[in-house]
Amino acid sequence: MRDHNYYMYMMANRTNRVLYIGMTNNLERRVSEHQSGEFPGFTRKYKVNKLVYYEHYSEVESAIRREKQLKGWRREKKNQLIESMNPNWDNLTRTWE
């Protein structure tokens, strides 16, 4: 049986004022796309290019459900979740090198 990898992730801009919540099956590729500004849209417009939080799932439905759940949360609750894993709002991609 093949392993499946899906991620719900949150990205922020430089000042952490703007958040983007997404879901992908390839976190490194997707974050790279956000960072390069390669595609027009919200993340390029607001320079959202810092990975601050993510969760791993083996089922796509679970990742989508979690993404929708977090999109419905108030900003304060999202901030608390990020800070539980990443108290300084560091760019988590720095640990990938």
Domain range enclosing 68: 6-92
Q: What is the CATH number of the domain that holds 60?
A: 3.40.1440.10
**pLDDT tens track for 47-94:** 999 999 999 999 999 999 999 999 999 999 999 999 999 999 999 998
Residue 55 phi/psi, 5-degree rounding, is -135, 145
**pLDDT tens track for 4-52:** 899 999 999 999 999 999 999 999 999 999 989 888 889 889 999 999 9
In a domain, 1, yes or no: no
In a domain, 97, yes or no: no
Contact 70, 10 (CB under 8 A): yes
Q: How many domains does the chain have?
A: 1
Which tokens hold the place of 44? 């390029």
